[in-house]
Structure formats: structure tokens, C-alpha cells
């Protein structure tokens, strides 16, 4: 692939983005007016539409929904994920104690590395785009200091495509570099094209002059996993169609998250479901503000004879005689806008509902007056409403978690004593990490815990039901595996796997319990 082909591919994908881009230009005005563009030189704070923003309901709703996503899915205050042995390696490896212990250590090290990086800041930026425009993205990699680093990719700055399974597998990002930035990234001025070299030699132009760059990453159709990277990478200077750097990645380096899948790869923003209400609020708020000003500063009808003689300032005094003309009188201020206020409140409620704010309120509502059954019923209702967008994010985010694991592994940030079950021969007489051993990512976030809570409530309830049925037919007990159910309950409650005995340990514990009970019994004939 040459530079011209990359540019052509970018232009084709940009045309496919037209509908999403057109909507984004409108959503910027009243939903996310502080959204940055992909080209900082074109950004103007005064041009973000704040002058036309009369009601901030949608803006605040977007901010709160994005914050809720961060809190419920990737809370920085909790270990919100874990790594479990891959099912591809078989049940023996899945049950291996050393493997589980090593992966637990990997999860703790990854959690610490994310906290020390800019992950949570960048993730929140992408979530604002996801909730505001329907799609958010960022890049994940390793810095020169051998630390995790992430780069937010503004909605305006990228196009992408997905594979047959609906997963993003091609992304082209557009941004700007000056000659100094390009030289630093590419490893020296010698790797610049001629226009960039000319700018680099000029003391002023090397900083001032900007060049539009395209970074294209996509999955190769055919590749040799032993000698090639799965994904290609091209840095192209768009103006002259020159390839500045060619490389590759083992994993897709960009995270692309959609709020809800719709037609095509781009996500559906919640504001599109209440767009008429948002526009109505802007109009109504402008009208009520005008009416409020008329109430506070009424229009006056004044005789021309009194011009210059009457003080209209607050606390002003006007001395009049009996023969003076009539004092100024209000006119045209009659009107009751309480009905308009009611309509605005209805519109605000529609916006809050579209952004799930009423459900967020219920998640945090006091439940002291409710029974456990009522609490679980309401919780299940809210989770069912939330689950499509949350599950979509988890699905989109999973490849990034695996990339983070691989980045940490390649950077030697994990315990080097990797269990042998996870290794394979490298063909050079040594060992390497088996790609099939990439772990399964299990989410322990607030949302995942709530889902488990709902599931466990049903499991516990079924046990109670079976216990009551057994009073009439004891044989019913035989159809229910209480031992397995107990394991699932404690796992769902977040009990560490190391606290749960395996089958052998269970039998040994049962035997010990029986021996103690026998020793505690008094000898025959006593008592």
C-alpha cells in the first residue's frame, strides 16, 4: 500500500462517515460544546457554540452519563478486572494453581500501571465522545520510559471500518505535526520528506508550519504469524502523499467504543433520541429569559415632556408638581409563562431519560423502605435498560485489555517466572509466551457486581423454593447440585478463588470433619 492508496481509503471512509459527522456538528452545539477537534490549529474556544447555548441540560446529562460509565465499568478505586486462564489451553491449565497465581499478580500489576498512567483521563475523554456523539476512541501503547501511555483520538479526527463480526479492524487518524514533532517521532530529520526537511531547516517554519498526517492501521488479509505483524501501520504526509514510516502491530492499537450499534460502524448517540426536546429547550429557555428580563426591566411609556427630567435608575428620585404630566407607565409586559415552564420541565425529563439519568438516580436511591425482593426487582429493571450500552462498551473494550496485557508482557513488567503451561518453543532452542495463552478478561466492575447480584438473587431464591418443595417430596433435593450452587454464590460475591477448595481438598476437609464429630461423640454406654 502506498501513500495515495491510504489517502484514497481515508476519503472513502470519510464519505461513509458523513451522516455521523453531520449529526456531530449539531450535537456539538448543545450536547458537547467543549469537544476538541482533531486539528488543534483550527480550534477556537469562542467558536464552540457557547453563545448559542441557552440551556445546559443535555451538556450536564452527557457529562454525568460519561462519569457513570467510568464509575460503573472502570472505577479507578477498585480492581475492576481480573485475568483468568484461557479456555483454549484446556481444563488442566485452567485449574492450575501456579497459572492462576501468576495471572492474579499480572492483574494487580496492570491495575497499578493503569493508575500510574494517563489511562483514566483519556478513557473519560473517549467516554464523553461516546455518550455525546455515539463513538469514542483512543490509542494505547508504551512510552519511551517503558510505561503504559494512551492518546485520546477526537471524534472529528478519525474514520474506521469493522470486520464481519462487527469489531473495528481498520482505523485512519488525521492530525497535525510540525517538522520538529515529526522528526522526534520518526527518529530523526533524515526520515522526513522534502517539504518537511525544508521546514525543519528554517528556525521559524520548523515550529510554525503544520503538516497533515494520516496514521492508518488495519488487519492484513494474509500474513505469516511467525515473521509478520497482524496489523499494518503507515504514517502518510497527506499533502505530498509520502509514506513517512511503515510498520505493524500484533494487536489493534486503537480502542473504538460505540454507545449503541446502529446502521454501519458508527454508534448512535442518546441525544439523537431526544433531539427535538433539546432544540425545544434552547428555544423555550431563550424566550423565558427574555420574559424574565421584561419583568425585571419593564418597557415604559413616557411623555416626551419628561425625557431628561425623570430618573429611571434604581433608587432614583424624581420631583414632580401637581401640574406635571403623568409619570412613565409599564406597557406590553402582561403575560404568564408558567405553562412554558411546565413544558420545559417535561422536555428536561425527556432528555434525562434519554441519557438514563433517572435510572442512575435509582441506582443510588435509598432503599430502606423496600423489601429485598422489591430492591432486586428494581435493580434488575435498571440493569436490563442499561445492559445494551454497557455490554457494547465491554465488547469494544476487550481487545484493548488484551493489548494492554501484551504490552505489559513485552515490556517485561510482569513477573518473569512465567508458568511453563503458558510457554511454547520459539524454534531457536528457547521458550516464548504462547499466543493462545492470552488470558480471558473477567470484569469485576460495579456493573458486573450488580449483574452478579441479580443472578445470585435468583439462584438463592431457587434454593429456598426447592427446600420448601422437599418438605413434600425429599427426592427433589437429588435434582439440585447444592455444592456447585454454593461455589457460584461465593464466586459471585467476590470471594477470592484461593478461598474455594478443589474436589480433593473438599474430600479431605469432609473426612476431617467426620473424624472430629466421631471423636466428640461420647463412648457407648456413657450418658
Q: Three-state secondary structure along 158-223?
A: EEEEECCCCCEEEEEEEEEECHHHHHHHHCCHHHCCHHHHHHHHCCCHHHHCCEEEEEEEEECCCC
CA 299/CA 293 separation, integer angstroms: 10
> Environment class of residue 297 by beta-carbon count within 10 Å: exposed (0-12), middle (13-18) or buried (19+)?
exposed
Are 181 and 207 within 8 A, CB to CB? no
**First-to-final CA distance of the chain:** 92
CA 220/CA 506 separation, integer angstroms: 50
Are 13 and 172 within 8 A, CB to CB? yes
Radius of gyration of the chain (CA): 32
Instruction: Supply the DSSP symbol for 389.
Output: H
Residues 6+ apart with CB under 8 A from 511: none
CA 448/CA 371 separation, integer angstroms: 23
Of 192, 199, 190, which is closest to residue 235 (Cα–Cα)?
A: 192
Instruction: Supply the DSSP symbol for 117.
Output: T
Phi then psi for residue 379, to 5 deg, are -65, -45
Q: Work out the number of other CB atoms within 10 angstroms of the CB of residue 461.
A: 13
Per-residue pLDDT of the chain (527 residues; tens, 9 = 90+): 899 999 999 999 999 999 999 999 999 999 998 887 665 555 454 444 566 788 899 999 999 999 989 988 898 988 899 999 998 888 889 888 899 999 999 999 999 999 999 999 999 999 999 999 999 999 999 998 999 999 999 999 999 999 999 999 999 999 999 999 999 999 899 999 999 999 999 999 999 999 999 999 999 988 887 788 999 999 999 999 999 999 999 999 999 999 998 878 999 999 999 999 999 998 888 888 777 777 777 777 777 777 777 887 777 777 777 666 567 777 666 555 666 678 889 999 999 999 988 777 765 555 556 666 666 667 667 777 778 888 899 899 999 999 999 999 999 999 999 999 999 988 788 899 998 899 999 988 877 777 776 666 666 666 667 777 777 777 777 766 667 666 666 655 555 555 677 777 778 888 888 888 888 777 665 55
C-alpha cell at 105: 499478580
Grouping H, G, I as helix, E, B as strand and the rest as coil, residue 459 is: helix
Are 457 and 488 within 8 A, CB to CB? no
CA 277/CA 383 separation, integer angstroms: 25
Determine if the pTM surpasses 0.85.
no
Instruction: Supply the DSSP symbol for 327.
Output: P
C-alpha cell at 138: 483512543
Amino acid at each position: 500500500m502506498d501513500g495515495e492508496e491510504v489517502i484514497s481509503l481515508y476519503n472513502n471512509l470519510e464519505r461513509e462517515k458523513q451522516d455521523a459527522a453531520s449529526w456531530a456538528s449539531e450535537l456539538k452545539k448543545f450536547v458537547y460544546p467543549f469537544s476538541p477537534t482533531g486539528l488543534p490549529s483550527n480550534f477556537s474556544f469562542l467558536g464552540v457554540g457557547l453563545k448559542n447555548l441557552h440551556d445546559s441540560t443535555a451538556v450536564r446529562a452527557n457529562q454525568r452519563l460519561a462519569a457513570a460509565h467510568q464509575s460503573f465499568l472502570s472505577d479507578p478505586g477498585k480492581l475492576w478486572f481480573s485475568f483468568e486462564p484461557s479456555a483454549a489451553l484446556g481444563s488442566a491449565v485452567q485449574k492450575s494453581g501456579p497459572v492462576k497465581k501468576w495471572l492474579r499478580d499480572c492483574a494487580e500489576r496492570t491495575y497499578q500501571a493503569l493508575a500510574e498512567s494517563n489511562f483514566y483521563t483519556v478513557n473519560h475523554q473517549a467516554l464523553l465522545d461516546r455518550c455525546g456523539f455515539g463513538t469514542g476512541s483512543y490509542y494505547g501503547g508504551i512510552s519511551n520510559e517503558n510505561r503504559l501511555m494512551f492518546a485520546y483520538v477526537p471524534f472529528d479526527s478519525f474514520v474506521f471500518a469493522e470486520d464481519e463480526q462487527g469489531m473495528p479492524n481498520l482505523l485512519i487518524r488525521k492530525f497535525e505535526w510540525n517538522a520538529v514533532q515529526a522528526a522526534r517521532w520518526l527518529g530523526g530529520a533524515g526520515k522526513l520528506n522534502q517539504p518537511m526537511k525544508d521546514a525543519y531547516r528554517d528556525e521559524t517554519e520548523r515550529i510554525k508550519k503544520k503538516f497533515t498526517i494520516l496514521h492508518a492501521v488495519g488487519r492484513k488479509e494474509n500474513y505469516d504469524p511467525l515473521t509478520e505483524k497482524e496489523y499494518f501501520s503507515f504514517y502518510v504526509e497527506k499533502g505530498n502523499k509520502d509514506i513517512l514510516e511503515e510498520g505493524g502491530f500484533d494487536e489493534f492499537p486503537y480502542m473504538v467504543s460505540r454507545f449503541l450499534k446502529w446502521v454501519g460502524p458508527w454508534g448512535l448517540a442518546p441525544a439523537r433520541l431526544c433531539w427535538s426536546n433539546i432544540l425545544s429547550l434552547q428555544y423555550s429557555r431563550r424566550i423565558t429569559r427574555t420574559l424574565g428580563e421584561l419583568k425585571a426591566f419593564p418597557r415604559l411609556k413616557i411623555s416626551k415632556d419628561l425625557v431628561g427630567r425623570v430618573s429611571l435608575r434604581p433608587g432614583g428620585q424624581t420631583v414632580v408638581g401637581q401640574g406635571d404630566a403623568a409619570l412613565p407607565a409599564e406597557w406590553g409586559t402582561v403575560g404568564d409563562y408558567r405553562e412554558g415552564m411546565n413544558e420545559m420541565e417535561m422536555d428536561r425529563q425527556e432528555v434525562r431519560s434519554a441519557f438514563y439519568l433517572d435510572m442512575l438516580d435509582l441506582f443510588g436511591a435509598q432503599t430502606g423502605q423496600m423489601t429485598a425482593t422489591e430492591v432486586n426487582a428494581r435493580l434488575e429493571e435498571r440493569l436490563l435498560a442499561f445492559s445494551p450500552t454497557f455490554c457494547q462498551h465491554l465488547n469494544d473494550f476487550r481487545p484493548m485489555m488484551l493489548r494492554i496485557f501484551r504490552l505489559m508482557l513485552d515490556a517485561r513488567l510482569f513477573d518473569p517466572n512465567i508458568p511453563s503451561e503458558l510457554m511454547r518453543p520459539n524454534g531457536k532452542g528457547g521458550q516464548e509466551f504462547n499466543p493462545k495463552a492470552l488470558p480471558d478478561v473477567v470484569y469485576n466492575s460495579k456493573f458486573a457486581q450488580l449483574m452478579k447480584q441479580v443472578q445470585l438473587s435468583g439462584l438463592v431464591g431457587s434454593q429456598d423454593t426447592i427446600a420448601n418443595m422437599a418438605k413434600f417430596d425429599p427426592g427433589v433435593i437429588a435434582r439440585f447440585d447444592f455444592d456447585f450452587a454454593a461455589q457460584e454464590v461465593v464466586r459471585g460475591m467476590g470471594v477470592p478463588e484461593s478461598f474455594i477448595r478443589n474436589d480433593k481438598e473438599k474430600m479431605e476437609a469432609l473426612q476431617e470433619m467426620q473424624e472430629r464429630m466421631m471423636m466428640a461423640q461420647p463412648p457407648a454406654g456413657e450418658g
